[in-house]
Structure 1
Amino acid sequence: MDAKSLFPGRRGFIRQMGATALLGVGAGAGLSGCSSTAASIGDGAATGFDHGVASGDPLGDRVILWTRVTPRRSDESGDIAVRWQMATDPAMQAVVANGSVSTSAQRDFTVKVDAAGLLPGHVYYYQFAVDTVKSSIGRTKTLPRGDVRQVRLAVFSCSNYPSGYFNVYADAARQDDIDAALHIGDYIYEYESTGYACGNAEALGRVSEPRELLLRLEDYRRRYAQYRTDPDLQAVHAAMPFIAVWDDHEFADDTWRDGSAEHKASEFGPFTLRKVAAMTAYHEWMPIRAPDPATPEKIYRSFDFGGVVSLHMLDTRLIGRDQQLMMSSYYDEHQRFDVEKYKHDVCSPRRQMMGADQMAWLERQVKDSNARWQMLGQQVLMARMEYPTAVAMGECNCTDYSALKKRAAADPSCVSGPEKRWLSASTLPCYMDSWDGYQNDRELVFAMMQRHRKNMVVLAGDTHNAWASDLHDAQGSQVGVEFATASVSSPGMEGAYPDRDPEDVASMMVDLIEPLYYAQTSKRGYMIVTASHEQVRCDWRFVDTVFKREFIVATERSLRTLPGPGNRKIEECSGA
């Protein structure tokens, strides 16, 4: 078995590592995930709001408001005037801001308003209207300033429509104390209807539309439109502001700056055209404020939550990333693996994850921030997730290596010579789409945080499983922690070990990977991250199913980190 078959991308890594009532009535309390937020329209109405409402990118004095007008006629070609208003009460009586904008087919009838003149740290309600038809009412919140007791963030990743219901969103929509939601990538998936994780799609009534692989602007628009008809996704958008960045599946699998692992230019055309199409649809359908409208690929930006958190949303996917390395290319004609060249290349300063401009921007943001915590909202795992060499080279599997370690600990005399070499060998990075494949950039980030004496918490997604790891630099110094969320609906490692207790699989991963502190490899969920001056706490919430509308949800693990150079590591929470 060669290295390419061992780790053929994210899914290889996973295999080997084994709807709501209208907020005008409920306003964030007692929400149900089982009914749509879409406003109903009568037969005589010219337009509707079938895709709900959303808000995003809050600042101290403004927030982006979003909706999409649904024309009654599919061939609508003219401009549509849309009124909007904001109020301090859910009945929309105490109006504090209002205006009118127009939309058209040119922007897929989406509407984005940068509503300004607001007060920091305040809850607001908003609504859109066309003629006599009104949208549902959304709830949003501006960023606080000055002294803040705590900040609570919901963190999501990997929401695949055909994989199952968005029960995770339904639970989050019921939370009434979240300041903002972070979606750190794979908000949609680009696959054809017979593609990845679609086995239950027909039975669930969630077959992807369009049915073809997404390539053109109209394809991406239709996929976003389908996702945004989901009642639970509408619910969570209407309940809280979103701060989002893209990952690869908003474009194509394993995207990098100039291509993708699965994009065949000879068949699909230039990747540049596909990238522009995907990027255009993303900016239309997501409540994001582009830092530079002239440069739509630039989405990295910062948000300050008083003196507690400076949140830096990074783009580790598109704007600066070099192409991923392939382990298979380091085998010679005799199937000998060049370990030294491989290790040299993964650490090469010529290989960039973020790009020089974004790295310089992050340095300025971190240096100028006076917040207690520097929090990085980004896509892929930053922690070292290296495998023992014997596992990486396919000489033994994870299960057997874990058993060998336990056997050696109990009775060293029973370990053979080859097994001793396995145990004494170094580890190898294997998931080249993560920061493990761009180690120089990772060291630059670590050095930046140490240079400015900052407390760092990294948030990650991408793998569909939940993780918590200590972050060490190349010299072994503790520099921060990483909390990684499970997926909203995409399958995790449970498919790789169908006959094993998931708890055993998770324990095996912690045993194999040295910096790894916690793993949950079989459930769908999200994180609630609570930051104060005293600590950052992460609570992992998991649903018991995504295949039924009825579900049970529970917080299954809580971990924290403390500030200061003697801390900045994962520890158990003391008390509730």
Structure 2
Amino acid sequence: MNPIHRRDFVIRLSTVAAALSAGAALSACGGDDAVPQFLYGVASGDPLADRVILWTHARYPDSEAAVELSWEVASDKGFADIVKSGSVTATAATGFTAKVDATGLVANTEYFYRFRQGRHVSAVGRARTLPTGSVSEVRLAVLSCANYPAGFFNVYAEVAKSDAQFALHLGDYIYEYAAGGYASANADKLGRVVQPANELLTLADYRQRHAQYRSDPDAKDLHARLPMIAVWDDHEIANDAYKDGAENHDPAKEGSFAARRAAALQAWHEWMPVRSGADQGKIYRSFDFGNLLSLHMLDTRLVGRDQQVTTEQLFNPATQASALATLASPTRQLLGAEQLQWLQGQMSASKASWQVLGQQVLMARMTVPVSILNALNPANTSPTAVADGAKAVTDYLTAKATPVALRTQAQQDLLDPAKNPELGYNLDAWDGYPVAREILLGTVAQLGKKLVVLAGDTHNAWHSSLTLMNGSKVGEEFATSSVSSPGLESYLAALPPEQVKSIFENVIDDLDWMDPKRRGFLKMSFTASAAKGEWVFVDRIDSRSYAVDTAAGKTLVYTPGLG
């Protein structure tokens, strides 16, 4: 069992104290004798050099009465030196969540914070402001895809124990599916059946699901220990969402997508420690860590994304021509024109050593020959289909390894892009928006910036080169595995994970390394000369007793100009 640090002990102790005081409730009317419940802990987020968002949820049991709170920020864990304080109200209009932007803080400083209602006190959290000036190192814990019914949030527990300074959540913080839906095979056994039982559609639905996720002790622990910078992906709303709809939304049965989206975004802003503006649909924003790095958090999901092209449309003779034309359209958007222009301006103005994009989906070119895509059909796992898939991979790799002068006509055809074109295996990612990707990477190349892209979404870990269509390298992408959502080991269950790994790493030119089967997080460490990614994996999520899978861990370093 890992030792509990003294500061962690104080946080845990304050949580216990808050729970004990809440247990002594005398009434639920909201009067002087009422005891507010702080059931979901505290959180901090969106840190800047002089401020940070502080969050909690407070409610009188069985009451709609507002809860008048005071908040305190201290330089010490005992709150002897309170440096900032104020008041905030948790009301029914915000689902009894409360957020405050604590300003006037000192850069690069760790603080302790809490909320109070009379003598009743919330758990204590730690917050940190961003550094300014000359910065030698920044450490970020990168997270994505936490599915409550799939298993325990042991990855959150491990991040809370790490030496990361800030947490980045790249989306799929919750999932919208009904009970018994996606990744729910062990939910009953683990006591993690989702609430509400229906698929999320209304504001009340999304609020209840957020509350359930935030009731998880490891989620509360993570938020109490690290400031979080977050963006949404699709499952905070609906699977494979885009600006006007989603794969998992049927207007005929589920009503207006705009109404569903508005409800989902309101709940997300209520429950996440983010700095919310007047337009809840705009979450792209930048964070400057002194002269070392500028972190640009993007929305690749809702604000500008055109509807996805599907592999089925590309393979269907009746829709193929139209799908190919759409895929190659010069006006096809993923970020949207406004967000792209903003990002170009942010990167151009930045004087930092690194430009880091925190965003949802894989940007690297993950293209696979059609001969392999046709043969590797996850829907058909019969022995014959598996053998056909293995043969397609072997034939292609053999053709690549054969000297040009010795290649047969069949091998030449396999390597001829006109006869065997390469397509992205996941068209929900940047591979489905190739012109938009080229424009963005071309901007980085023109500006001469050092680029690192961070991604989530796939539930597996990846490291790739970012290249232009002419093959020139612009930067590198580090992608995190999931907190609990199943990955390729589930979708390609008929293939041994090591074979899946071999196929991807050998077939995809820009891919350097991947892990096909483990849950974990990515710790990124930046210095002026190098960006280091450390993938940390846990050995299980079906029990709260777990260990770090040290043998599976991976560290890769990007040093521009040196490889």
TM-score normalized with structure 1 length: 0.88
Once residues 398 and 371 of structure 1 are traced to their aligned partners in structure 2, the CA distance between those partners, rounded to angstroms, is 46
Q: Is 1:523 matched with 2:518?
A: yes
> Is the Cα contact below 8 Å between 1:37 and 1:52 reproduced in 2?
no
Which of 92, 100, 115 matches 1:105?
92
Q: Counterpart in 1 of 2:37?
A: 48
In 2 relative to 1, CA 233–365 (structure 1 residues): closer, same or farther, beyond 3 Å?
same
The letter of the residue matching 1:388 is: P
In 2 relative to 1, CA 366–46 (structure 1 residues): closer, same or farther, beyond 3 Å?
same
> Is the Cα contact below 8 Å between 2:241 and 2:247 reproduced in 1?
yes
Which of 233, 242, 245 matches 1:259?
245
Q: Is 1:399 matched with 2:390?
A: yes
Q: Counterpart in 2 of 1:560?
A: 557
Q: Counterpart in 2 of 1:15?
A: none
Q: Counterpart in 1 of 2:364?
A: 383
Q: Is 1:314 matched with 2:294?
A: no
Q: Is 1:125 matched with 2:120?
A: no
Q: Is 1:426 matched with 2:421?
A: yes
**Per-residue deviation, residues 369-410 of structure 1 (Å, max 9, x unmatched):** 000000000000000111112123348865333322455577
Once residues 30 and 87 of structure 1 are traced to their aligned partners in structure 2, the CA distance between those partners, rounded to angstroms, is 14
Once residues 456 and 64 of structure 1 are traced to their aligned partners in structure 2, the CA distance between those partners, rounded to angstroms, is 28
> Is the Cα contact below 8 Å between 2:375 and 2:392 reproduced in 1?
no
In 2 relative to 1, CA 523–331 (structure 1 residues): closer, same or farther, beyond 3 Å?
closer
Once residues 130 and 150 of structure 1 are traced to their aligned partners in structure 2, the CA distance between those partners, rounded to angstroms, is 39
Once residues 288 and 336 of structure 1 are traced to their aligned partners in structure 2, the CA distance between those partners, rounded to angstroms, is 45
> Is the Cα contact below 8 Å between 1:38 and 1:52 reproduced in 2?
no
Q: Counterpart in 2 of 1:64?
A: 53
Q: Counterpart in 1 of 2:121?
A: 134
Q: Is 1:352 matched with 2:338?
A: no
Higher relative contact order (CA 8 A, sep 6+): 1
> Is the Cα contact below 8 Å between 2:59 and 2:67 reproduced in 1?
no
> Is the Cα contact below 8 Å between 1:20 and 1:232 reproduced in 2?
no
Which of 464, 467, 472 matches 1:469?
464
TM-superposed CA distance for 1:71, in Å, is: 2.2
Q: Counterpart in 1 of 2:228?
A: 242
Which of 412, 433, 436 matches 1:441?
436
Once residues 9 and 464 of structure 2 are traced to their aligned partners in structure 1, the CA distance between those partners, rounded to angstroms, is 34
> Is the Cα contact below 8 Å between 2:153 and 2:483 reproduced in 1?
yes
TM-score normalized with structure 2 length: 0.90
Q: Counterpart in 2 of 1:85?
A: 72
Once residues 399 and 56 of structure 2 are traced to their aligned partners in structure 1, the CA distance between those partners, rounded to angstroms, is 60
The letter of the residue matching 1:328 is: E
TM-superposed CA distance for 1:179, in Å, is: 1.9
The letter of the residue matching 2:83 is: V
**Per-residue deviation, residues 420-466 of structure 1 (Å, max 9, x unmatched):** 52344331123211001111111111111112110000000000000
The secondary structure found in structure 1 opposite 2:232 is: coil
In 2 relative to 1, CA 149–441 (structure 1 residues): closer, same or farther, beyond 3 Å?
same
Once residues 389 and 47 of structure 2 are traced to their aligned partners in structure 1, the CA distance between those partners, rounded to angstroms, is 44
Which of 297, 305, 308 matches 1:324?
308
**Per-residue deviation, residues 229-279 of structure 1 (Å, max 9, x unmatched):** 000011111111000000000000000001001200010001000000000
Which segment is superposed worse, 87-96 or 248-257? Answer: 87-96
Which of 319, 337, 347 matches 1:366?
347
**Per-residue deviation, residues 306-340 of structure 1 (Å, max 9, x unmatched):** 111100000000011111112333456xx4784x7
In 2 relative to 1, CA 348–510 (structure 1 residues): closer, same or farther, beyond 3 Å?
same
Which of 203, 215, 220 matches 2:201?
215
Percent of aligned pairs sharing the same letter: 44
In 2 relative to 1, CA 448–104 (structure 1 residues): closer, same or farther, beyond 3 Å?
same
Which of 178, 181, 200 matches 1:192?
178
Q: Counterpart in 2 of 1:6?
A: none
Q: Is 1:27 matched with 2:24?
A: no
**Per-residue deviation, residues 329-364 of structure 1 (Å, max 9, x unmatched):** 3456xx4784x7654432312210011110110011
Matches within 5 A, 1:218-233: 218-233=204-219
> Is the Cα contact below 8 Å between 2:314 and 2:324 reproduced in 1?
no
> Is the Cα contact below 8 Å between 1:20 and 1:36 reproduced in 2?
no
The secondary structure found in structure 2 opposite 1:82 is: strand
The letter of the residue matching 2:201 is: L
> Is the Cα contact below 8 Å between 1:320 and 1:352 reproduced in 2?
yes
The secondary structure found in structure 2 opposite 1:71 is: coil
* Corresponding pairs, count: 536
The letter of the residue matching 1:166 is: F
Q: Counterpart in 2 of 1:7?
A: none
Which of 428, 447, 450 matches 1:455?
450
Once residues 11 and 57 of structure 2 are traced to their aligned partners in structure 1, the CA distance between those partners, rounded to angstroms, is 22
TM-superposed CA distance for 1:31, in Å, is: 9.2
Q: Is 1:294 matched with 2:278?
A: yes
Q: Which runs of 5+ in 2 are unaligned?
A: 26-33, 377-384
**Per-residue deviation, residues 516-568 of structure 1 (Å, max 9, x unmatched):** 000101000000000000100000000010001111114511001113xx35x
> Is the Cα contact below 8 Å between 1:78 and 1:104 reproduced in 2?
yes
**Per-residue deviation, residues 106-150 of structure 1 (Å, max 9, x unmatched):** 111101010000000000000111222111100010000001110
The secondary structure found in structure 2 opposite 1:374 is: strand
The letter of the residue matching 1:478 is: K
The secondary structure found in structure 2 opposite 1:27 is: helix
Which of 474, 479, 503 matches 1:479?
474
The letter of the residue matching 1:162 is: P
The letter of the residue matching 1:196 is: Y
> Is the Cα contact below 8 Å between 1:20 and 1:31 reproduced in 2?
no
Q: Which runs of 5+ in 1 are unaligned?
A: 1-18, 570-576
Once residues 528 and 477 of structure 1 are traced to their aligned partners in structure 2, the CA distance between those partners, rounded to angstroms, is 27
Give the RMSD, CA atoms, in angstroms: 2.5
